[in-house]
Structure 1
Amino acid sequence: VRERCGILRKAADIMEERRHELNAWICLEVGKIIPQADAEVSEAIDFCRYYADEMERLDQGVNLDIPGETNRYFYQPRGIALVISPWNFPMAIAVGMTVAALVTGNCTLLKPAETSTVIAAKIAEILIAAGVPPGVFQYVPGKGSVVGSHMVNHPDVHLIAFTGSREVGCRIYADAALVQPGQRHLKRVIAEMGGKNAIIVDESADLDQAVAGAVYSAFGYTGQKCSACSRVVVLSPVHDAFVERFVEATRSLNVGPTDDPSTQVGPVIDAKAQARIQEYIEQGKAECELAIACDAPSEGYFVGPTVFKNVERHATIAQEEIFGPVVAIIRAANFDEALEIANGTDYALTGGLYSRTPDHINRAAAEFEVGNLYINRTITGAIVSRQPFGGFKMSGVGSKAGGPDYLLQFLEPRHVTENIQRQGFAPIEGADQ
Structure 2
Amino acid sequence: MATIEAPVRPAIRLHEGRFENEWLVDFTKEDNARKMRAAIDKVRGQLGREYDLIIGGKRIKTQEKIQSLNPAKPSQVVGIHQKAGREHAEPALQAALRAFESWSRTSVEERASLVFRVGDMLRERKFEFMAWLVFEVSKNWAEADGDIAETIDFCEYYSREALRLSKVTADAQLHGERDSLFYIPLGVGAVIPPWNFPCAIMAGLTLASIVSGNTVVLKPSSDSPTIAAKFVELLEEAGVPEGVVNFCPGSGSTFGNALVGHPKTRYIAFTGSREVGLDINKRAAEVPQNQIWIKRTILEMGGKDAIIVDADADLDAAVEGVALSAFGFQGQKCSACSRAIVDERIYDKFLDRLKARVEKITVGDPADNPNMGAVINEGS
Is TM (by shorter chain) over 0.5?
yes
Structure 2: runs of 5 or more not aligned: 1-107
The partner residue of 2:162 within 55, 61, 66 is: 55
Number of corresponding residues: 272
Instruction: Tell me which residue corresponds to 1:116.
Output: 224
Tell which structure's C-alpha radius of gyration is larger: 1
Instruction: Tell me which residue corresponds to 1:248.
Output: 356
Matched, 1:214 2:322: yes
Q: Note the C-alpha offset of 1:146.
A: 1.2
Q: Note the C-alpha offset of 1:66.
A: 6.7
Matched, 1:127 2:226: no
The partner residue of 2:245 within 133, 137, 156 is: 137
Instruction: Tell me which residue corresponds to 1:4.
Output: 111
Q: Note the C-alpha offset of 1:63.
A: 2.4
Q: Note the C-alpha offset of 1:61.
A: 2.1
Q: What is the letter of the counterpart of residue 116 of structure 2?
A: R
Instruction: Tell me which residue corresponds to 2:184.
Output: 76
- Secondary structure at the residue paired with 1:82? strand
Matched, 1:187 2:284: no
Matches of 1:145 and 1:18, distance apart in 2: 34
Instruction: Tell me which residue corresponds to 2:145.
Output: 38
Q: Note the C-alpha offset of 1:195.
A: 1.3
The partner residue of 2:375 within 260, 268, 277 is: 268
Deviation string, structure 1 residues 212-254 (Cα, Å, up to 9, x no partner): 1100110110100110001112121111111111001000111
Deviation string, structure 1 residues 131-174 (Cα, Å, up to 9, x no partner): 11112210111111111111011111011000011110111111
CA RMSD across the alignment: 1.2
- Secondary structure at the residue paired with 1:186? coil
Instruction: Tell me which residue corresponds to 1:14.
Output: 121
Instruction: Tell me which residue corresponds to 1:159.
Output: 267
The partner residue of 1:24 within 107, 131, 138 is: 131
Instruction: Tell me which residue corresponds to 1:416.
Output: none
The partner residue of 1:259 within 351, 361, 367 is: 367
Deviation string, structure 1 residues 378-409 (Cα, Å, up to 9, x no partner): xxxxxxxxxxxxxxxxxxxxxxxxxxxxxxxx
Which residues of 2 match residues 303-382 of structure 1 at below 5 A? none
- Secondary structure at the residue paired with 1:77? coil
Deviation string, structure 1 residues 3-60 (Cα, Å, up to 9, x no partner): 1101101111111121111011010000001121112111101101111100111110
- Secondary structure at the residue paired with 2:365? coil
Q: Note the C-alpha offset of 1:70.
A: 2.9
Matches of 1:208 and 1:78, distance apart in 2: 49
Cα gap change, 1:66/1:152 in structure 2, threshold over 3 Å: closer, same or farther?
closer
Matches of 2:318 and 2:141, distance apart in 1: 25
The partner residue of 1:197 within 292, 302, 305 is: 305
What's the % identity of the aligned pairs?
47
Matches of 2:289 and 2:344, distance apart in 1: 59
TM-score (norm 1): 0.61
Q: Note the C-alpha offset of 1:69.
A: 4.4
Matches of 1:83 and 1:197, distance apart in 2: 25
Matches of 1:39 and 1:68, distance apart in 2: 53
TM-score (norm 2): 0.70
Matches of 2:166 and 2:301, distance apart in 1: 30
Matches of 1:184 and 1:20, distance apart in 2: 45
Matches of 2:247 and 2:357, distance apart in 1: 42
Instruction: Tell me which residue corresponds to 1:321.
Output: none
Deviation string, structure 1 residues 86-130 (Cα, Å, up to 9, x no partner): 100000001100000101111111110001000000111111111
Q: What is the letter of the counterpart of residue 157 of structure 2?
A: Y
Matches of 1:198 and 1:35, distance apart in 2: 22
Matches of 1:66 and 1:171, distance apart in 2: 44
Instruction: Tell me which residue corresponds to 1:85.
Output: 193
Q: Note the C-alpha offset of 1:271.
A: 0.3
Matches of 1:200 and 1:68, distance apart in 2: 56
Q: Note the C-alpha offset of 1:68.
A: 5.9
Structure 1: runs of 5 or more not aligned: 274-433
Matches of 1:153 and 1:70, distance apart in 2: 38
Matches of 1:23 and 1:107, distance apart in 2: 27
Matches of 1:172 and 1:69, distance apart in 2: 41
- Secondary structure at the residue paired with 1:176? helix
Matches of 2:340 and 2:145, distance apart in 1: 28
Matches of 2:374 and 2:243, distance apart in 1: 38
Deviation string, structure 1 residues 164-221 (Cα, Å, up to 9, x no partner): 1111011111110011111110011101111121111122221111111100110110
Matches of 1:257 and 1:114, distance apart in 2: 21
Q: What is the letter of the counterpart of residue 310 of structure 2?
A: D
- Secondary structure at the residue paired with 2:373? coil
- Secondary structure at the residue paired with 1:115? coil
